[in-house]
C-alpha cells in the first residue's frame, strides 16, 4: 500500500475542548486525547504529551480560555482574579520556552480591554484561536525563508523535534523540509535521536516519514562523524527562548552541534518565530533551564538502564552562544550577526 505524504499536526480545537496528539505514545501509537479541564492542560504540557515551544503556548492559551469560560461569576474583578490564578498555574508548567508565557500574556491583554464577563469569555477564546491560526502562517513563512537560506544545500542535520507537531503546522526547523517535499526539493535530513526523551527518534523520524521526506536517524554521539563522513552541509534547529543578544536556548545537545559546525566550517541556523524572542533576557545566562526527573535518563520503556540511586543531572535545554549562530530564521526574515542590533530592528516591530 503506497503512503500518501501528509504533514502531521498535533492540535485541534473542537467547539468546547482541545484534542491533542499524544506525543508520548509516538511512533508506535497514534492516540488523541481530549483536554477538558485546566489540570488536563497542565499535565499534558508537563508530561510532554504536547511539547514544542509554539505548541505549548497554543495549548496553554486554549487551556486558560477554556477554564475561564467556566468561571461562575458576573463580576469582572472576581473573574480577573480567577484568570490570574489559572494563568500563573499554567505558566509554571515549563520554564524555558518563552512562547508559553507570551501566549498567556496575550490573553491577559485581551482581558484588560473587556467591558463585561461575557465579552471577556468570548474574546479570550477568539484570542486563543487567533494564536493557533496565526502560528501556521508564521511557520510557513519561516519555511520559505529557510528554503532561501539553505539555497542548494541538501544534506542537513537537526536535533529534537522542531516540526509540525511542535507547532500548529509545518514547524520551524523542519518547515523547509515539508515545503521542499511539496515542491520536489529532495532534502536528506540527518535526525539526532535526542536523548533522553528521544524527540528525534520518536517524533522527527516519524513526522518526516509521514511527510515523505528522506530522514536518516543517528544517535547524538554520531553527530561529528556523520557531519564529516556524510558531508552534512548545514545544521538547522528550533528554539525555546532567544535572548536580546541572540544567545539561544534549545533542546539539550544543540550547543554541541553548533560547536561541531564551527569546527567543520558549515553554517548553524536557528529557526524560530518572533514569539520565541525574550528581550528581557539580556544574554543566555538569563534563560531558565528546565531540569527534569532522573527516570528519563535511568529508564527506557520502564526498565532500569542504570544502577539504582545513581546521581542524575537532567537539563532539558542548553544555550548556544550567539557567536556560533550563522543566522536566525524568523517569519519576518533572516537575522544575521550582530544579533543585538538586528533583533532590535526586526523583533521590536512584532
Ligand X SMILES: CSC[C@H]1O[C@H](OP(=O)(O)O)[C@H](O)[C@@H]1O
Contact residues: ligand X, CB under 6 A: 51-54, 97, 160, 162, 166-167, 171-172, 199, 237-240, 250-251, 316
Cβ atoms within 10 Å, residue 335: 23
- If the CB atoms of residues 238 and 327 are measured against ligand X, the closer one turns out to be 238
Residue 285 near residue 260, CB atoms below 8 Å: no
Residue 159 near residue 237, CB atoms below 8 Å: yes
Q: How far is the CB of 122 from ligand X (least distance, A)?
A: 29
Q: How far is the CB of 124 from ligand X (least distance, A)?
A: 24
Residue appearing with cell numbers 486554549: 62
Residue 253 near residue 62, CB atoms below 8 Å: no
Query: Alpha-carbon distance 27 to 207, whole Å?
Result: 9
Query: Alpha-carbon distance 63 to 3, whole Å?
Result: 34
- Secondary structure class of 288 (helix, strand, coil): coil
Q: How far is the CB of 282 from ligand X (least distance, A)?
A: 21
Cβ atoms within 10 Å, residue 221: 13
Q: How far is the CB of 195 from ligand X (least distance, A)?
A: 12
- Active-site annotation holder among 240, 247, 278, 318: 240
152 a catalytic residue: no
Residue appearing with cell numbers 530522514: 215
Q: How far is the CB of 98 from ligand X (least distance, A)?
A: 11
DSSP summary character for residue 37? S
336 backbone dihedrals φ, ψ, rounded to 5°: -120, 160
Residue 172 near residue 139, CB atoms below 8 Å: yes
- If the CB atoms of residues 166 and 266 are measured against ligand X, the closer one turns out to be 166
Q: How far is the CB of 26 from ligand X (least distance, A)?
A: 12
Alpha helix positions (H), 5-116: 38-46, 53-68, 76-91, 98-112
Beta bridge partners of 317: 251
- If the CB atoms of residues 79 and 200 are measured against ligand X, the closer one turns out to be 200
Burial class (CB in 10 A: 0-12, 13-18, 19+), 261: buried
Query: Alpha-carbon distance 261 to 194, whole Å?
Result: 17
Residue nearest to ligand X (CB): 238
Residue 327 near residue 267, CB atoms below 8 Å: yes
Cell of residue 181, nine digits: 517535499
- If the CB atoms of residues 8 and 238 are measured against ligand X, the closer one turns out to be 238
- If the CB atoms of residues 111 and 173 are measured against ligand X, the closer one turns out to be 173
- If the CB atoms of residues 122 and 274 are measured against ligand X, the closer one turns out to be 274
Annotated catalytic residues are 240
Amino acid at each position: 500500500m503506497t503512503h500518501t505524504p501528509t504533514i502531521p499536526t498535533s492540535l485541534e480545537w473542537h467547539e468546547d475542548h482541545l484534542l491533542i496528539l499524544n506525543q508520548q505514545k509516538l511512533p508506535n501509537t497514534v492516540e488523541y486525547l481530549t483536554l477538558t479541564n485546566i489540570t488536563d492542560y497542565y499535565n499534558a504540557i508537563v508530561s510532554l504529551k504536547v511539547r514544542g515551544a509554539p505548541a505549548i503556548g497554543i495549548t496553554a492559551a486554549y487551556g486558560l480560555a477554556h477554564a475561564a469560560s467556566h468561571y461562575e461569576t458576573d463580576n469582572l474583578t472576581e473573574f480577573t482574579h480567577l484568570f490570574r490564578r489559572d494563568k500563573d498555574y499554567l505558566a509554571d508548567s515549563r520554564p524555558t520556552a518563552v512562547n508559553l508565557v507570551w501566549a498567556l500574556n496575550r490573553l491577559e491583554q485581551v482581558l484588560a480591554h473587556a467591558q463585561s464577563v461575557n465579552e471577556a469569555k468570548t474574546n479570550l477564546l477568539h484570542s486563543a484561536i487567533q494564536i493557533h491560526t496565526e502560528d501556521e502562517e508564521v511557520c510557513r513563512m519561516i519555511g520559505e525563508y529557510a528554503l532561501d537560506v539553505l539555497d542548494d544545500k541538501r544534506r542537513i542535520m537537526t536535533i529534537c523535534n522542531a516540526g509540525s507537531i511542535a507547532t500548529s503546522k509545518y514547524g520551524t526547523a523542519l518547515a523547509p523540509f515539508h515545503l521542499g517535499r511539496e515542491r520536489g526539493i529532495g532534502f536528506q535530513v540527518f535526525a539526532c535521536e535526542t536523548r533522553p526523551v528521544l524527540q528525534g527518534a520518536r517524533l522527527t523520524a516519524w513526522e518526516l516519514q509521514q511527510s515523505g521526506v528522506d530522514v536518516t536517524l543517528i544517535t547524538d554521539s554520531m553527530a561529528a562523524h556523520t557531519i564529516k563522513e556524510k558531508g552534512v552541509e548545514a545544521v538547522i534547529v528550533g528554539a525555546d527562548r532567544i535572548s536580546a543578544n541572540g544567545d539561544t536556548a534549545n533542546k539539550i545537545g544543540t550547543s554541541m552541534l553548533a560547536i561541531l559546525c564551527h569546527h567543520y566550517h558549515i553554517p548553524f541556523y536557528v529557526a524560530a518565530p518572533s514569539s520565541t524572542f525574550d528581550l528581557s533576557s539580556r544574554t543566555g545566562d538569563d534563560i531558565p533551564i528546565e531540569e527534569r526527573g532522573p527516570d528519563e535518563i535511568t529508564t527506557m520503556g520502564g526498565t532500569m538502564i542504570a544502577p539504582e540511586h545513581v546521581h542524575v543531572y537532567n537539563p532539558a535545554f542548553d544555550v548556544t552562544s550567539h557567536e556560533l549562530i550563522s543566522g536566525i530564521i524568523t517569519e519576518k526574515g533572516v537575522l544575521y550577526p550582530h544579533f543585538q542590533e538586528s533583533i532590535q530592528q526586526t523583533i521590536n516591530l512584532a
